[in-house]
Amino acid sequence: MHKTIDDQTAEEWDRLMAVNLRGPFLMAKYVVPEMRRQGGGTIVNIGSVEGFMVNPWHSAYAASKAGIHGLTLALSVDLGPDSIRCNTVCPGWIDTDLNRAYVEMHPDRALIERELGQLHPVGRIGAPKEIANAVLWLASDDSSFVSGEMISVDGARTKKISLPAILDEEYRAKLTKVQA
Residue 171 among the catalytic residues: no
- Taking the C-alpha atoms of residue 135 and residue 24, their distance in angstroms, rounded to an integer, is 15
Contact 157, 120 (CB under 8 A): yes
Catalytic residue among 30, 61, 102, 171: 61
Contact 36, 90 (CB under 8 A): no
> Strands 150-153 and 84-91: what pairing?
parallel
**Residues 6+ positions from 9 with CB-CB distance below 8 Å:** none
Catalytic residues: 61
